[in-house]
Amino acid sequence: MKLNEIASIIGSIVVSENVEIFSMNTLKNAQAGEISFLSDTKYEKELSETKASAVILPASKAALLPDGVVALVSEEPYMAVAILSKYFAKPIRSSEKAPQIGEGSVVYPTAHIENGATVGKNCTIMSGVYVGAEAVIGNNVTLYPNVCVYRDCIIGDSVAIHAGTVIGSDGFGYAHTKTGEHVKLYQNGNVVIEDDVEIGANCTIDCAVFGSTVIKRGAKIDNLVQIGHNCVVGEYSILVSQVGLAGSTTLGRNVVLGGQSATAGHLSIAPFTTMAARSGVTKSVTRGGVYSGFPLMEHKLWLKLQAKLAKIVQS
Amino acid sequence: MKLNEIASIIGSIVVSENVEIFSMNTLKNAQAGEISFLSDTKYEKELSETKASAVILPASKAALLPDGVVALVSEEPYMAVAILSKYFAKPIRSSEKAPQIGEGSVVYPTAHIENGATVGKNCTIMSGVYVGAEAVIGNNVTLYPNVCVYRDCIIGDSVAIHAGTVIGSDGFGYAHTKTGEHVKLYQNGNVVIEDDVEIGANCTIDCAVFGSTVIKRGAKIDNLVQIGHNCVVGEYSILVSQVGLAGSTTLGRNVVLGGQSATAGHLSIAPFTTMAARSGVTKSVTRGGVYSGFPLMEHKLWLKLQAKLAKIVQS
Amino acid sequence: MKLNEIASIIGSIVVSENVEIFSMNTLKNAQAGEISFLSDTKYEKELSETKASAVILPASKAALLPDGVVALVSEEPYMAVAILSKYFAKPIRSSEKAPQIGEGSVVYPTAHIENGATVGKNCTIMSGVYVGAEAVIGNNVTLYPNVCVYRDCIIGDSVAIHAGTVIGSDGFGYAHTKTGEHVKLYQNGNVVIEDDVEIGANCTIDCAVFGSTVIKRGAKIDNLVQIGHNCVVGEYSILVSQVGLAGSTTLGRNVVLGGQSATAGHLSIAPFTTMAARSGVTKSVTRGGVYSGFPLMEHKLWLKLQAKLAKIVQS
């Protein structure tokens, strides 16, 4: 899409060169041919180093862009991005290339594998499974009945995903109008699941808005777990049933989250951290250890608090 | 079904005229040809204005009925209703009329659309989707893989429902015998989803026992959310992942429920109310604002409480 | 598998007779031809009465075995069991016997019933349902769309399971290496669901590691409920939406768990116990009553605590 068209869609003044834009991305990850945006001053320092071809941002920040990066001025950049994202959304079907199925793989007759998808060797793709366009499934993978893998997702080797789990559904992102309507930010990223991961039944792992939601090697995930867009789950992490991770949270390796625990978004949890069941994490955890409670505290402090409360109730 | 038969099923004395009864409903919504009931004295004042043809109720309340409404006397009206509900339950399949599919709609070969269902124009009904008898799907709707829409549900225009979500499964309602067995109250209502709603993956939205569970225009629902029978979710409300609404709760417009929040049943939440993550709502909220905690309190009070508890644990 | 091979797989010294082993089981339930293990000293007293043909255990405990039971010595018995469990895992498909479908049953064309499975009379097996190898479905059972029943599970008469629910997916069990990798303990048991049970939509009920996870007669389970491996849910129990039971917990009859309640593993809950919504149970409950809170307390104590906290926050 030409910058002219983009400017017209988002109500910006067309500024200079009319380059072709292929996709959207963050300031940090954008490359030539991509458009990015600044909607949170937290990321302002990334302006000067962006490789994007154009950036949507308020007029007051335009001067911070490197030479050669086109500024598309908008006083509501996040809304502009949401409006624009629809134009870059990929269709459900986009390829005429028949799916590739590796040697030794079994695909049940009621599974649906879209054109452009690839399934590796010695996989079992059971009944009712859906594998989206351009998705790539590794070797020795078992997808139990009714698993759904949305388009562009990538699954490594020796992965097992239990029945009903959904990989790559849209992340939950909207811009809000002043009168309270919600404008969808189309989620154009994917999910990447590394080797030796096992995921339980009826989980939901959302695709990234840009880039990837990542489940790293050897992580084990129980049933009914929710993982928001752009999360990173570290190697050998363990997420017990009914855990919920809000978007853009990063777990280090060997993090353990007890049942019904949850984290807010945009946090980072240190490697080898253990959260007791039903912990509620609202700030980043920089030091491994055992935590519990909501708000979160060291587990031994939580035990102390419960003892004090027991005394209060008896008094 | 004739009133004679009904009286015999629920062990009531047959009282007067033997009119034909077509369905069951609440006192407030029942029309001629319907039977209603009084099992909670809270609704006693609705007796005098009911348009039902007959009402199941204790002997002591029979005199409160308007002239011409037949009283079927039962000292356990709720149990009587449960026993009777089975006779009015609709079969899974009830029509010989082939499903109607609108122009421009794509239905994947493994989707199953029952006779009597209608799909509008330019819809995408993906693999493994189920659309029940008499269900009506609007225009420009996307049902992602393995979505299930039970019979009689109505979905508006420009709705997207992500993979594995279940619309219209039975509400959770039972009458209990004195020895502890449970008698199912068949859920004969439906779900109505208005235009521009988006629902995430693996959610569950139960049908109403009578009437409709309603998700109003522009509401956005994240993954793994549970909505009980007869709830009403207001326009442009936002329900974050793993939220649970018990039955018959009504949210005003632009209510926001943070992740893992929950409400008890039969509550009403004022428009423009925001609940922080994991709020637990046990009473109606009559004034918009920001709330959190369980039991629920104003969010700034909750923050104050946490500060006090932090001092207690240090003491 | 011969004991020699097993000893070689788990790195144990071969001790004496080389009997044939058919499967794995607990010390208590193992029979001749089965191998068992001791990984938790809590079960040490069961050694002297085990009927297993061989037991994996530390050298120091070998002398506690009855005459004729072969000791396979391992200083990491749980890891040895995990490694070995893979060899006893059953394949997804194991039979050439066409599925048996009883008189009067309707099986939708996109349902997939594996060889060796049995469906009783007057059942409705809807679209996208999966019934695994050797699974047995009773009479008058309704499996709503996209229900998945894994191999070997047994479902009684007059059971209804709503859309998207998964019965018999793998329990969440791993042994952990010293460097933090997880070795899967293959879950070779099943789920048994007795008569007159109703289960909501998108629930997950895991199979047992050995033996059975059991849902007893007349229990009613709402949507999005998680039941871990080897749990027993008592007769006429009620589990409200989003409840989670960790592994090996036993509920007596007529236990009620409010919405979002959860229990830790290996607990036992007395009959006729009621837990308020969002209770968190970390110890066994030996006396029926009404409880709430996390940690759990008598409900009236919890109300008193909330009143005290309300005072603290005002002070």
Q: What is the pLDDT of residues C61-82, one digit of tens each?
A: 999 999 999 999 999 999 999 9
Judge if the upstream peptide bond of residue B295 is cis by omega within 30 degrees of 0.
yes
Q: Is 80 exceeded by the pLDDT of residue B17? A: no
Segment holding B30, helix H or strand E: none
**Chain C: residue nearest B181 by CA?**
C236
Interface mutation target, options A222, A254, A261, chain C, most CBs of C under 10 Å: A222
Interface mutation target, options B112, B129, B146, chain A, most CBs of A under 10 Å: B146
- Does ipTM exceed 0.95? yes
Nearest-by-Cβ selection for A110 from B110, B162, B236: B110
What b-and-e string marks burial along A246-283, b requiring 16 or more CB atoms within 10 Å of the CB? bbbbbbbbbbbbbbbbbbbeebebbbbbbbbbbbbbee
**What pairing do the DSSP bridges indicate for beta strands C256-257 and C273-275?**
parallel
What is the widest separation between alpha-carbon atoms in chain A?
75
Do you know the residue count of chain B?
315
Measured CA distances, A205 to A189, A225, A233 (Å): 12, 8, 11
Interface of B with A (CB under 8 A): 108-110, 124, 126-128, 142, 144-146, 160, 162-164, 198, 200-202, 218, 220, 222-224, 236, 238, 240-242, 253-254, 259-260, 272, 277-278, 306, 309, 312-313, 315
Which tokens in the block code for residue B213?
């569970």
Nearest-by-Cβ selection for A148 from B146, B160, B272: B146
**Chain A: residue nearest C110 by CA?**
A110
Interface mutation target, options B223, B233, B308, chain A, most CBs of A under 10 Å: B223
- CB distance A278–C301 less than 8 Å? no
Q: Who's near C74: CB < 8 A, 6+ residues apart?
A: C10, C11, C12, C56, C57, C58, C80
> Which residue is listed with tokens 């951290």?
A273
Residues of chain C with C-beta less than 8 angstroms from the C-beta of B174:
220, 238
- Residue among B159, B264, B141, B202 at smallest CA distance from A227: B202
- CB distance A169–B162 less than 8 Å? yes
- CB distance C278–B262 less than 8 Å? yes
Out of C9-13, C154-158, C309-313, pick the least confident.
Answer: C9-13
Nearest-by-Cβ selection for C146 from B146, B244, B312: B146
Interface mutation target, options B272, B273, B313, chain A, most CBs of A under 10 Å: B313
- Whether residue B102 contacts residue B123, with contact meaning beta carbons closer than 8 Å, is answered with yes
Residues of chain B with C-beta less than 8 angstroms from the C-beta of C109:
112
Interface of C with B (CB under 8 A): 108-110, 124, 126-128, 142, 144-146, 160, 162-164, 198, 200-202, 218, 220, 222-224, 236, 238, 240-242, 253-254, 259-260, 272, 277-278, 306, 309, 312-313, 315
Q: Which long-range contacts (CB under 8 A, 24 or more apart) does A135-140 make?
A: A135/A168, A138/A195, A139/A102
CA distance A190 to chain C (A): 24
For residue range C276-285, what is the model confidence (pLDDT) as tens digits? 999 999 999 9
**Chain A: residue nearest B310 by CA?**
A305
Which tokens in the block code for residue C199?
């289960």
- CB distance B246–C253 less than 8 Å? no
Query: What pLDDT is stored for residue C16 in this prediction?
Result: 65
Query: What pLDDT is stored for residue C253 in this prediction?
Result: 98
- Write down which chains contact chain A via at least 3 CB pairs under 8 A: B, C
Measured CA distances, B82 to A220, B31, B79, B169, B175 (Å): 43, 20, 5, 17, 6
> Which residue is listed with tokens 């003892």?
A307
Q: Who's near A42: CB < 8 A, 6+ residues apart?
A: none
Residues A261, A278: Cα–Cα separation, whole Å: 4
**C229 an active-site residue?**
yes
What is the secondary structure of B112-145 as a DSSP string? EE-TT-EE-TT-EE-TT-EE-TT-EE-SS-EE-T
Average pLDDT over chain B, rounded to an integer: 96
CA distance B266 to chain A (A): 25
- Residue among C272, C211, C275, C208 at smallest CA distance from C244: C275
pLDDT < 50 positions in chain A: none
Query: What pLDDT is stored for residue B19 in this prediction?
Result: 87
Q: pLDDT band at B18, cuts 50/70/90?
A: confident
CA angle (C61, C66, C70) in 5-degree steps:
70
State the catalytic residues of A.
Answer: 229
- Whether residue A149 contacts residue A168, with contact meaning beta carbons closer than 8 Å, is answered with yes
Q: Is 90 exceeded by the pLDDT of residue C260? A: yes
CATH numbers and ranges of domains, chain C: 3-88 (3.40.1390.10)
Query: What pLDDT is stored for residue B16 in this prediction?
Result: 65
Do you know the residue count of chain A?
315
Catalytic-labelled residue, pool B112, B162, B229, B299: B229
Q: pLDDT band at C19, cuts 50/70/90?
A: confident
Query: What pLDDT is stored for residue C18 in this prediction?
Result: 78
For residue range B247-285, what is the model confidence (pLDDT) as tens digits? 999 999 999 999 999 999 999 999 999 999 999 999 999
